[in-house]
Amino acid sequence: MSTTPEKKPRTNHLELARRILEHTQESGLVAGDAVAEQALSRTFQVSRTLIRGALKVLLEQNLLSHEAGKGYRLLAAPVGQALNSALPQADEEELATSVLRDRMAGRLGDSISISELMRRYDIGRPAAQKALQQLSETQAIERGAGQYWQFRPSLNSLAALEESLKLRLILEPEALLNPHFNADPQRLALLRSATQTLLASPVEDFDIQQFRELDISFHELIAQSCGNRFIADTLLQHQRLRRLPNLLPSVSVHRLQEALREHLQIIAHIERGQLEIAADLLRLHLRLSAAQRPQTANRGIPQGQMFGRR
């Protein structure tokens, strides 16, 4: 018996659904709070028809409930990058992810063309163009000569990971020490609560994906709060790299739990206004993370393991 393929949500509905989730997070909404269709239409300056399409996506993912005559209510409040994984991917996003995985695994060279995408993934030109646009928007690729697109540097080797940590050691503590650093107390509180919840889970149930999302959210918050647009831009671009798939070796759950405890210490000192102490703890945090990684000279990396990021 044939089955009908699951229909993918429209890309514009998915994008708006993500923006709505970000809005609920920034507004401090929690499970049970009302989500008003008309207010969202005013906030995002789009039609209510488009808002309904986005709310339908959230409803299908069990992130909202709906009751006739009473409207929508929030069922779950994803934190940080968890809001991205809470939603399905559009077709072009899935294809872009496949391209990145093949690149990280060494199955693709330093550049790629639309023709190569069409042949390799058995797709039409419009789908290939959309995938390249998706990769360009995440800054994984940039336009090269002729019909080719060049892959930008990524965390696809231990040497690249070392360089990444060195960059972050230079910039992230300085972001905390910038005179205009100003972190949103509400975002700090949300991040602290989600971190404590994950830490309370048993080791055998520890969610690596949720850790990764919280970790990136923590470091993005520091970048976005620093008050220096150039430092913020550099650090945020680097966090985008950390979201991309890679095949670097994983780190033990015990180290990931310890990293979360370090996050909580840093958050506590930021909330107290003790930014010099927070910066010192952040330097130690990054150095401890570097110390837990295999050395570049170690070539015996088991291929195919997903890297549990810190």
Domain boundaries, given as residue ranges, for the chain: 11-85, 91-151, 158-291
Q: Which own/partner contact pairs does 65-68 have at CB distance under 8 Å and 24+ positions apart?
A: none
DSSP string, 208-268: HHHHHHHHHHHHHHHHHHSS-HHHHHHHHHHHHHHHS---PPP--HHHHHHHHHHHHHHHH
Q: What is the pLDDT of residues 247-257, one digit of tens each?
A: 555 678 888 99
Cα separation, 201 vs 210, in Å, equals 12
Lowest-confidence region among 81-90, 114-123, 212-221, 236-245: 81-90
| 91-151, CATH topology level | Arc Repressor Mutant, subunit A (1.10.10)
Q: Which two tokens stand for residue 83?
A: 């809001």
CB 310 within 8 A of CB 253: no
| CATH architecture for the domain at 11-85 | Orthogonal Bundle (1.10)
CB 79 within 8 A of CB 190: yes
pLDDT of residue 271: 96
Task: Give the global pTM.
Answer: 0.63
Q: Which CATH class is domain 158-291?
A: mainly alpha
As a whole number, mean pLDDT of residues 33-50 equals 87
Residue 39: pLDDT over 70: yes
As a whole number, mean pLDDT of residues 59-83 equals 75
pLDDT of residue 90: 58
Q: What is the pLDDT of residues 151-166, one digit of tens each?
A: 887 777 778 788 888 9
Reported as a pLDDT band with limits 50, 70 and 90, residue 299 is: very low
Domains 11-85 and 91-151 share a fold: yes
Q: What is the pLDDT of residues 79-131, one digit of tens each?
A: 544 455 555 555 667 788 888 888 877 888 889 999 998 999 888 888 888 88
Q: What is the mean pLDDT of the chain?
A: 81
